[in-house]
Amino acid sequence: MPLLHWSPRSPYVRKVMVALHEKGLAETVETRRTLADPMVPPEAFFATNPLAKIPTLEREGHPPIFDSRVIMEWADGASDRGPRLFPAEPEMRLAALTEEALGTGMIETGMTLLIERFMRKPEAQDPRIEQVCARKFRAALDHLEAAIGGTAARAFDAGHVSLGVALCYLDFRFGDLGWRTGRPALTEWHAGIATRPSFAATEFRDDPRPAG
């Protein structure tokens, strides 16, 4: 059985978990709670993933694979059930990949902000970083508000997974940003996608951190 290094706090992991549920694979992959602290990565994990990051998927007889999009591609190819997360038609695939990248970029911006706000001492924090993160969020969210009609018109794909998880992560860690204000179309789209069983089954939660 494949083994997924996992955390209920990680938006990158949640993308993979949503994909596994959509493809009917959630019960066929074992999960292991793995510490992946960006400031103090666990030494033992470097042997499995040289970046010491999660999600990482171990498969018997094969090298580990890592990066959330790569594992989502694996899931898409491992099962014919559920939606096609990475469509074969070139333009549809490009649309899915572009929105997958946008959602991932929003998550990366969120991780930068998380580190700056909560992992640095107040005297070491740089207000410029928070300002840049806020600007990126505004630009991304305003873009989505204008473009979400096209997103909603496509069949569910990896772009929907990534964007939906990114917005859920803003709710989880940065409720003060009030991303819904002035964005009714995006708010409505997210409310719908959040009711999918794959999202309902993978909600974020803080939990006790394992030992490094």
Q: What is the pLDDT of residues 19-52, one digit of tens each?
A: 999 999 999 999 999 988 777 888 889 999 999 9
Alpha-carbon span 148 to 77, nearest angstrom: 27
Number of Cβ atoms within 10 Å of the Cβ of 35:
17
Task: Label residue 211 by pLDDT band (50, 70, 90).
Answer: low
Domain boundaries, the chain: 3-84, 90-199
Q: What is the model's pTM?
A: 0.95
Q: What is the pLDDT of residues 142-197, one digit of tens each?
A: 999 999 999 999 999 999 999 999 999 999 999 999 999 999 999 999 999 999 99
Mean pLDDT value of segment 55-63: 97
List the strands of the sheet with 62-66, edge to edge: 30-33, 3-6, 56-59, 62-66
Joined together, the tokens standing for residue 68 give 């959330």
CATH class label, 90-199? mainly alpha
CATH superfamily of 3-84: Glutaredoxin (3.40.30.10)
